[in-house]
Amino acid sequence: MTGTTNRAGADGALLRGPESTLSAALAELDDGCGVLVTGDVPDDAYRAAASRYFGVPDRDRRRVLALTRDPADAAGWLPDGVAPGDDGVAVRRLPGAVREPTAAADASAPEPDGQTDTGLPGDGEPGGRTSPARLDLDGDGESPEAAAADARSTLSGAIDAVADGEAGGRLRLRVGVYRIDTLCAALGEERARPLLRDVAETTRERGGMAHFHLPRPAEGDPRSDPVVGAVADALGDALDAIVELRTRERSSVPEERWHILEWGRTDWNSLR
């Protein structure tokens, strides 16, 4: 890693001087890492980020893509030249709320009136509140407990299948999950967040990179958002970086900024 004198940014983030580049930041993480990706951007920006984090097609990578939606568009989440049916690629469906939460990733914390605020719009209820019994899940109507067990088995099985029992190292294994809020809404945060931590730890132990996508408005420090902060806390030591995404009117290409825990913050970089 290169850099000059450490200095504090306007928002208190640690900067590494004028050579605070993404390549320098990633050098800190190449023994295995867990990454939380957030920002108030369209799906296309998350697809661009995921395809980048899955690694360039001419390198030997093992890729697991898990979506809480119809995986028919899975190819768009992978790098150009990598197809869902390729060797070393596994695409899996995870449970998710039919209607996407727009504010809260926690579908299980009780509200004072006995309802649960999932951030789901509609139903004519203030704040988009809906009771847990009325939260529709993709799938065959199994309980959240059973769905969580199935999701855990699905992800661990996919990782084992593509990794071939090898540790790999040097970020050879890449695991991407989109999106965290709908998964938490479907399973309940007390079941979804330990599942994500297990995935992050398993991936890191194999020297890989796990990237979890959580669409949220981002201003300043991403952890100041209560949902991002709660997921980051749940991931604990399995989390190494939080990535902000943004789009700008004068640019058609999304940008990313990495907050490397215990290292600092990069500049904004183009995703392409």
% of the chain surpassing 90 pLDDT: 58
Cβ within 8 Å of residue 224, ≥6 positions away: none
Residue 223 — very low, low, confident or very high, per pLDDT cuts 50/70/90? Answer: very high
Q: What are phi and psi of 87, to 5 degrees?
A: -60, 140
| 82-102 pLDDT tens trace | 999 999 999 999 998 754 444
CB half-sphere exposure, 249, CA atoms < 13 A: 0
Query: Which of 55 and 117 is assigned the larger pLDDT?
Result: 55
Provide the pLDDT for residue 118: 31
For the chain, the structural domain boundaries read 31-262
Tell me the mean pLDDT in the region 70-79.
95
Contact indicator for 58, 28 with CB cutoff of 8 Å: no
Of 55-69, 121-135, 154-168, 173-187, minimum mean pLDDT range: 121-135
User: Which residue is associated with the tokens 């951007």?
Assistant: 41
31-262 carries CATH number 3.40.50? yes
